[in-house]
């Protein structure tokens, strides 16, 4: 069964600290993996997107890694800011398949405290 | 083009009433998706269109739900005889097909439905 699991479910960190969010997937055949940031009450916004041949991709203080062999991805946030408080959703795209070819994780809710 | 727009942003209705949401995708995108999201959960797929053709519908989409994209541009999602369990954020997204980053989604801000 194609699934995307994220951990932790929620995370609280202090402003200025780093954190890493995890995404494990059992999706095949894999096309690409993307991370979205969703502020409360808003639509998700794309942070990074990686194909199976890309191991890492950065977007400012956000760095995503992908290990297609172990089917794991991580999103590392450096020097967190209060505005990073949001849900972070991992989405895996598969070649063919159902659900419009996209499998969503449930997200990790990050709270950055001053 | 400023992105995907959804209307209305908020809708409060009484149980049993019908509601309709509109989504205007990015103009050059041929794929359009509808998702439902409840508090603390990731988006759940409802349906998607490629141009005007509705290619897939989730089992979540009961017969009270209907979606259309008549000219391959904007789309509407109608919920008939609303129930309290329909209360959620309804998200629309669009994408282009083909290319290395096939299916990269651009979301609207969502339409929040509250059924009293």
Give the residue with greater pLDDT, A99 vs A41.
Answer: A41
Check if the beta carbon of residue B37 is closer than 8 Å to that of residue B51. no
Residues of A in contact with B93 (CB under 8 A): 43
Nearest-angstrom CA–CA distance, A46 and B100: 16
Amino acid B1: pLDDT: 54
Task: Decide if B110 contacts B10 (C-beta within 8 A).
Answer: no
User: What's the CA gap between B104 and A101, in Å, rounded?
Assistant: 11
Looking at the predicted structure, is the pLDDT value of residue A95 above 90?
Answer: no
**What pLDDT score was predicted for residue B100?**
46
The CA distance from A91 to B46, in Å, is: 16
Whether A108 and A11 have beta carbons less than 8 Å apart is answered as yes
> CA-nearest residue of chain B to A110?
B40
pLDDT digits (tens, 9 = 90+) for B14-59: 999 999 999 999 988 888 999 999 988 889 999 989 899 998 898 8
A77 CB near a chain B CB, below 8 Å?
A: no
Element (H, E) at B116: none
Determine the residue of chain A that is closest to B108 in CA distance: A43
More reliable by pLDDT, B113 or B1: B113
Other residues' Cβ atoms within 10 Å of the Cβ of residue A87: 21
Tell me which residues of chain B, numbers 46 to 105, contact chain A at a CB-CB cutoff of 8 Å. Answer: 48, 55-56, 58, 89, 91, 93, 100-105
Q: Is A101 on the interface with B (CB under 8 A)?
A: yes
């Amino acid at each position: 069964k194609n699934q995307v699991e994220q951990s932790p479910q929620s995370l609280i960190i202090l402003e200025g600290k780093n954190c890493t969010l995890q995404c494990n997937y059992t999706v095949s055949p894999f096309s690409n993996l993307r991370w979205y940031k969703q502020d409360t009450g808003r639509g998700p916004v794309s942070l990074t997107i990686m194909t199976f041949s890309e191991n890492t991709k950065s977007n400012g203080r956000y760095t995503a890694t992908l290990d297609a062999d172990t089917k794991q991805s991580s999103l590392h946030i450096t020097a967190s800011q209060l505005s990073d408080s949001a849900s972070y959703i991992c989405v895996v795209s598969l070649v063919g398949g159902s659900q419009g070819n996209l499998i969503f994780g449930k997200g990790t809710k990050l709270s950055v405290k001053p | 083009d400023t992105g995907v727009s959804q209307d209305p942003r908020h809708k409060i209705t009484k149980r049993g009433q019908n509601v309709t949401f509109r989504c205007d995708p990015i103009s050059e995108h041929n794929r359009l998706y509808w998702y439902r999201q409840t508090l603390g959960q990731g988006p759940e797929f409802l349906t998607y269109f490629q141009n005007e053709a509705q290619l897939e519908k989730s089992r979540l989409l009961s017969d009270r739900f209907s979606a259309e994209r008549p000219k391959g541009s904007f789309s509407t999602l109608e919920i008939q005889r609303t129930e309290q369990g329909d209360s959620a954020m309804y998200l629309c997204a669009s994408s282009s097909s083909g290319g290395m980053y096939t299916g990269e989604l651009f979301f609207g801000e969502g339409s929040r439905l509250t059924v009293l």
